[in-house]
Amino acid sequence: MGLALELTGLSKAYGPTKALQDVSFNVVEGQTHAIIGENGAGKSTLIRALAGLERPDRGSIRIQGRAYAPRNLKDSRRAGVSTAFQDLSLLPNLTVAENLFLPRLGRGLLVKRKDNEAAAREVLDKYRVGHISPNRTVDGLALADKQKLEIVRAISHQPKILLLDEPSAALPDVEWLYSLLADIRSSDLTILYISHRLAEIRDLCQTATVLRNGEVVDTVRVDEADDSRVFQMMGGATEGHGTEARQVRGVTGEPAIEVRNLSGQSIKDVNFTLQQGELLGVAALEGQGQGETFRILAGALKPAGGQVYVDDEAVTLNSTSAALRRGISFVAEERKTEGIFPGLSTLGNVTAGALRKVDRFGFLGGRREFASSVDVAREVDLNERYLRMDIDALSGGNQQKAVLARSLLQGSKYLLLYDPSRGVDVGTKGTIYGLMERFVNRGDHAVLWYSTDLAELSAVCDRILCFYRGSVVQELAGTDISVEALLAAITGHAGAEREAKA
Amino acid sequence: MSTAIKRALSNGSVLAFAILTIMYVVYVYSSIDVLTVNNATDLLNNVAPLVVAATGLTLVIISGGFDLSIGGVVVLSNVILVTQSDTTLQSGLLAVVIALAAGLAVGAINGVLVAYLRVQSIAATLGTFIMCSGIALVIMPSPGGSVPNFIAPGLNSALGGVLPVSLVVIGACLIGWLVIRRSRFGVYIYALGSDERSAVQSGIPVAGTKFKVYLGAGFLYALAGVMLTAQTASGDANASALFMVLVFAAVAIGGTRFGGGRGSAVGSIIGAGVLGVLQKMLFALGVSTFYTGIVQGAVLILAVILGHVSQFAAERLKEEETAQPSDESTSSEAKISSEGVLSDQD
């Protein structure tokens, strides 16, 4: 058995952010190798480098001993590397058959629609997705089918190395994926498997590399590492934030935001109460309805049914400004697209939502704007000097602080934070925890906090709602909270004994 | 049956065709000699330049770009034809070749700027538009001049007295488009306009495809310039603005979405027809030409609104259809799917 893949000293930086630092590991031919890490650990950058979409700054890759430096996707395909991307690379306005055969689309000068569709039919049947019709456009497919199609497309290129980036994220059950991988497994096929779900990794992979903040923590045999060791390797920084830090805070018990039987496009019968003085966590895999719930509370989406109460009063939040008037402020996950105004100064970004409080006869730029911002900047630990800089020049963590400072300046009582610690460094994470705690300690304030990082949720929160397929399937509190319990709940094993299988 | 209705509703060309038909019927009833060969040829001659330019613009817009260089290329082509030819056939042919080459050159510049140097397409083509207008003014500072007979009235006449040259040109645009639509390149431009990142991840040669789009568009604008010169029979370096606006209008009426990924040159060609017939119809109804612009603008907005409405109706039909057959898994998957739209952007 030779080595299928050798990575040596791979590094990649985006400005000040180091996405990959000196990443080295090997994968033996024919194995399924897991890449484990939190969000922002560098998994996606690694995949993109292997797929030819990013060029590493330093380091080298060898495939079966031969140097491999792809400049685009075509190069990687030629070398036998094929990728199913996490963000799905299907084109919604093209048909299933066209998507499947891009970019070649068959022989000959013209695209032969019927031939392609017949060939697609064969491929779809072969890989157990015969229910997908090759002649419909992809935008009409359910998300799970899109995910399956993305995987089938990667496999249909007959790769030597198959990269699967979160292949099960949108699948309601993994049975299909398991059977498919069992079908194609052979001694020539090496798979890199990226997933959050440890149970899957145990079922499918022999070896695993753990990444943290762009660095390799360790490469281990899966059967020799127990769950707690893996979580420890992944989490690392949150270790110090152990159980002793958790204590029941002075929750007043007054309901701040109450949600009754809320339903929408992706959620049904969501019930919970956020109390004043509480820092309520939300745990979920991507796309389980938490996003819609947050956006409904923020006034950005309309619910299909149910009722929201704010301060014991039934409310209809039909715009973000209506939510703001109720004291609810939402910080979205995509700072680049939803949160910040690129091109404005940091100061402009902080004051953007509260101009009436900082202007002078309708004009900005005065001392008043600066002075009021300095206070909130201090509160979120954002260095004053950044206020004068363009927000684009700031690191992700500082941008996040600026966005939080804006919410504070708006005078909101209730903060909805959607994965604020994603992609920020460990130090800033600490600041964000501190900020949230100070915020809720003001008494009648409260925070609803969604995070993809289970370790930090379990370390910081007293109570956590677990979303799965559009509902709150479990609510964990106090000493019941552990990463394992959360993991079980959000993967749909609420209450069941997971240990038996793991 | 219901699929046919859905297709029709979500297809902008069908809507544009309905508008065209209604207008043409009004036009036929409002004047006595509409259905003569002369009148029909005249109409075709009027719309041919629009059709050619709109076909080029449609390529660019479907690919997710924007092209303001139309006006520049059209006047450049116009002044080249007028200044580089005398009355002989040879000089005229040579001038046409030079004009088309100029169009290709401008298209190539746009292509390099947008595809390889990643300049925003609006900025890049605005730049080339202004430059081309400037060059046209240098070549021909004051309007006037004449063109050889084979251009005007040559391109306005009918081959053998039966087949109008304009019809041949329009037919060529239509057939050319249908071929492109079925080619690999055609699939690429739709892919590109829908989601460039996914296109890259699907292995599509994004830069090369973009370059070809602008190159082809530049050629078609120059050809539109030739057809327009056949109409005016003289040169004018300042005559581009209204024409360019009408080209964009034709594309919009034809149901091609500004933003990319959706639309068809068939729609744009019909859209050009709508604008042409509209002009004739208003004239036949005795409306002063001063009012033409007002009505054209109104028709454009109406067509786009109707397009949205019929698109919406088509999607409603589609939803109803997917809601009906719900075996075990589809309903829950569909639910997650709408959530996925939100989190896809992560």
Residue B344 is assigned to a structural domain of this protein: no
Query: From CA B317, how far away is CA B306, in angstroms rounded?
Result: 16
For residue A20, which of A49, A62, A52 has the smallest C-alpha distance? Answer: A49
Structural domain count, chain A: 3
Tokens of A388: 């004068």
Cα B186 to Cα B176: distance, rounded to the nearest angstrom: 11
Closest-CA residue to B19 (of B313, B318, B255, B193): B255
Give the 3-state secondary structure of residue A476.
strand
Q: Is residue A338, in this structure, part of any structural domain at all?
A: no
Same domain, A80 and A122: yes
Tell me the nearest-neighbour CA distance from A139 into chain B, angstroms: 10
DSSP symbols for B125-165: HHHHHHHHHHHHHHH-SSSB----TTTTTGGGSEETTTEEH
Residue A68 CA to residue A61 CA, distance in Å, equals: 5
Are residues A309 and A357 both part of a single domain?
no
Residue B125 lies in a domain: yes
Q: How big is chain B, counted in residues?
A: 346
Domain that holds residue B96: 2-318
- In this predicted structure, what is the pLDDT of residue A242? 42
Hey, how many other C-beta atoms are within 10 angstroms of the C-beta on A384? 13
Are residue A307 and residue A379 in the same domain, yes or no? no
In this prediction, the residues of chain A whose per-residue pLDDT falls under 70 are 1, 38-40, 235-252, 333-339, 353-369, 395-397, 422-427, 493-502
- Give the containing element (helix H, strand E) for B172: helix B165-182
- Decide if B129 contacts B68 (C-beta within 8 A): yes
Q: Do B343 and A286 touch (CB under 8 A)?
A: yes
Give tens-digit pLDDT for A90-147: 999 999 999 999 888 877 778 888 888 999 999 999 999 889 999 899 988 888 889 9
What are the residues facing A23 on neighbouring strands? Answer: A10
Query: Which pLDDT score is estimated for B335?
Result: 36
Chain A neighbors of B260, CB-CB under 8 A: none
* Predicted pLDDT of residue A501: 38
Among B194, B329, B336, select the one facing A287 at the smallest CB separation: B336
Q: Does a structural domain hold residue A50?
A: yes
Note whether A360 and A502 are same-domain residues.
no
Query: In this complex, which of A110, A142, A337 lies closest to B183 when CB atoms are compared?
Result: A110
Residues 6+ apart with CB under 8 A from B133: B71, B72, B75, B237, B238, B240
Ranges of H-type helices in A140-174: 143-156
Q: Is residue A69 part of a domain?
A: yes
Domain boundary among A184, A219, A239: A239
CATH number of the structural domain spanning residue B162: 1.10.3470
Q: Which tokens go with B331?
A: 């309903």
Are A172 and A47 members of one domain?
A: yes
Identify the pLDDT of residue B98.
96
* A-to-B residue pairs, Cβ atoms closer than 8 angstroms: 133
Is B130 a domain residue?
yes
Residues from chain B contacting residue A337 (CB–CB below 8 Å): 345
Q: Do A295 and B342 touch (CB under 8 A)?
A: yes
Range of the domain at A387: 347-410
| CA–CA distance, A497 with A250 (Å, rounded to integer) | 33
- Helix B184-194 and helix B37-62: axis angle, to 10°? 60
Is residue A336 situated within a structural domain?
Answer: no
Q: Crossing angle, helix B165-182 and helix B206-232, to 10 degrees? A: 170
Q: Note whether residue A337 is domain-resident.
A: no
Can you tell me the distance from the alpha carbon of B262 to that of A33, in angstroms, rounded to the nearest whole number? Answer: 40
Domain boundary among A239, A255, A273: A239
For residues B124 and B322, what is the distance between their CA atoms, to the nearest angstrom?
Answer: 43
**Assigned token pair, B180:** 């492109």
Q: Does B188 touch chain A (CB under 8 A)?
A: yes
Which amino acid is present at A5? L
Q: Is residue B328 part of a domain?
A: no
B323 occurs within a structural domain: no
Task: Tell me what pLDDT residue B229 has.
Answer: 94
- B207: its two tokens: 């830069």
A307 and A394 share one domain: no
- Phi-psi group of B99: left, alpha or beta (phi > 0 → left; psi -120 to 50 → alpha; rest → beta): alpha
Chain center to CA of A372: 34
- The CA distance from A149 to A84, in Å, is 9
The closest of A402, A39, A454 to A241, measured between CA atoms, is: A454
CATH code for the domain of A128 = 3.40.50.300
Residues A377 and A421 in one domain: no
Cα A23 to Cα A41, A86, A211, A426, B49: the distances in Å are 11, 21, 9, 19, 59
- What pLDDT score does B45 carry? 93
Same domain, A446 and A427: yes
pLDDT at B319: 64
**Alpha-carbon distances, residue B176 vs A208, A283, B194 (angstroms):** 53, 54, 22
Classify residue B340: in a domain, yes or no: no
The whole-angstrom separation of Cα B74 and Cα B221 is 6
Among A73, A333, A470, select the one facing B200 at the smallest CB separation: A73
What pLDDT is recorded for position A309?
Answer: 92
3-class DSSP string for A80-116: CEEEECCCCCCCCCCEHHHHHHCCCCCCCCECCHHHH
**Euclidean distance between the first and the last CA atom of chain B, given in angstroms as a whole number:** 39
Tally of structural domains, chain B:
1
Q: How far apart are CA B279 and CA B27, in angstroms?
A: 10
Cα–Cα distance measured from residue A116 to residue B147, given in angstroms and rounded to the nearest whole number: 50
Q: What does DSSP say about strands A161-165 and A17-28: parallel, antiparallel, or unpaired?
A: unpaired
In a domain, B213, yes or no: yes
List, as one string, the DSSP characters of A291-344: HHHHHHHTTSS--SEEEEEETTEEE---SHHHHHHTTEEEE-S-IIIII--TTS
| Planar angle of CA A49, A50, A52, nearest 5 degrees | 65
Q: What is the pLDDT along chain B (346 residues), one digit of tens a residue?
A: 456 666 666 677 888 898 899 989 988 888 877 778 888 889 999 999 999 999 999 999 999 999 999 999 999 999 999 999 888 888 899 999 999 999 999 999 999 999 999 999 999 999 999 999 999 999 999 898 888 888 888 888 888 778 899 999 999 999 999 999 989 999 999 999 999 989 999 999 999 999 999 999 999 999 999 999 999 988 898 888 889 999 999 999 998 988 888 899 999 999 999 999 998 899 888 888 888 889 888 988 988 888 888 878 777 776 665 544 433 333 333 333 333 333 333 3
Residues 6 or more apart whose CB falls under 8 angstroms from that of A349 comprise: A340, A341, A391, A402, A403, A406
Q: How many CB atoms lie within 10 A of CB B29?
A: 11
Which of A111, A140, A469 shows the shortest C-beta gap to B183? A111
Cα distance between residue A269 and residue A263, in whole Å:
6
What is the pLDDT at residue A357? 59
Angle between helices A175-184 and A143-156 (to 10 degrees): 10
Tell me whether residues B204 and A98 touch, CB distance under 8 A.
Answer: no
For residue A183, the one-letter residue type is D
What pLDDT score was predicted for residue A498?
40
Q: Please tell me whether residues A39 and A94 are part of one structural domain.
A: yes
Domain boundary (A363, A393, A410) is at: A410
Domain-embedded: residue B326: no
Tell me, yes or no, whether A42 and A136 share the same domain: yes
- Other CB atoms within a 10 A radius of the CB of residue B167 amount to 17
The reply to whether B328 touches chain A by the CB within 8 Å rule is no
In a domain? residue A335: no
The answer to whether the beta carbons of residues B76 and B135 sit under 8 Å apart is: yes
- A227 and A254 part of one domain: no
Task: Return the residue of B nearest to A94 by Cα.
Answer: B191
Q: Answer whether B344 touches A (CB < 8 Å).
A: yes
Judgement on whether residues A367 and A453 belong to the same structural domain of the protein: no
**ipTM of the complex as predicted:** 0.80
* Test the B interface: residue of A39, A85, A89, A100 with most B CBs within 10 Å: A89
